[in-house]
Amino acid sequence: MPQYNAIAYTWGRFREIDTSLQVPILYVNGIEWSIPMIKPFHFDVAKLNAAIQRSTSDYLAETGGRIEYLWIDIACIDQRRNIDSDLEIGRQAQIFGHAHRVYVWLGRSSARRFEELHVFWSFWKCMYDQWNTGRYNQEALDQAVGVLAEFNREPWFSSVWTLQETYLRKDAVLLMDNGESLAINDTHTTISDYLRLQHLLGSCNSVWRSCWSGMEGLEAEQVTLQLSDLGIIGLNRNDPMRLFATAMSRNPSNEEDCIYGIQQIFDLR
């Protein structure tokens, strides 16, 4: 039972089905199925390879050795859709729950976008720490709120299938489009030295709370609409029914996916 990492990302909606196109695909040795072609505007093989390399760069403290194994769906789930595929999909909760570390690859988010996410998290963290003082800079507030509009450009935040992974591993490290992570200085926790999913979820909850508290200088109606579209409010709580409500708002191509994609958090397969 070797230790392993897992990588979460989204690609199903961007599969290239035109086999006449010469779209490069990831090469994986030792599998019997063809790796799916992905539309190049979503991501390319070079960026996917970079994300894979980053996801296996951790070292185990107990042995000093590098993590040698990575779970990634296109190489670990039989893409011919058979009983083996279904069985592996049915193990997602165990796979992500038992991983040494999980990485969330935001394949369209650049280094600049990650810096904006850092600013967003830093502002709302400061607001949370100093909530009773009510002191803030309006320009910084406007900048932080402006980041919300950009979140919805990242397909990760509109997928039903990413919800279960979010619920299971809020400690997942975020990776930008080139596979790199963003180091941050967080003195309030010992587990985080990179920008993680939990930072983003916590920040959005702070925004939501600010909207309902009547925070001066915040266009609450517009911001709550953006947060609702994003669909990640409350996901940092261990409330599976909140996840179900979020899944219903994401409008997947197959309506059944609203429950199929998250059923394992209810101990269902």
Listed ranges 21-25, 222-226, 227-231, 248-252; the one with the highest mean pLDDT: 21-25
pLDDT value for 192: 47
Decide: 47 and 40 in contact? Cβ < 8 Å. no
pLDDT at position 133 over 70:
no
Count of CB atoms situated within 10 Å of the CB of 199? 25
C-alpha distances out from residue 238 to 22, 89, 134, Å: 44, 22, 29
Structure tokens at 128: 């949370």
Alpha-helical (H) ranges within the chain are 45-55, 73-76, 83-89, 92-98, 111-129, 138-151, 161-168, 197-213, 220-230, 240-248, 257-260
Average pLDDT across the chain, whole number: 85
Domain ranges of the chain: 4-105, 111-171+186-266
Question: pTM of the prediction?
Answer: 0.89
Q: What letter does residue 25 receive in the DSSP assignment?
A: -
Q: What letter does residue 146 receive in the DSSP assignment?
A: H
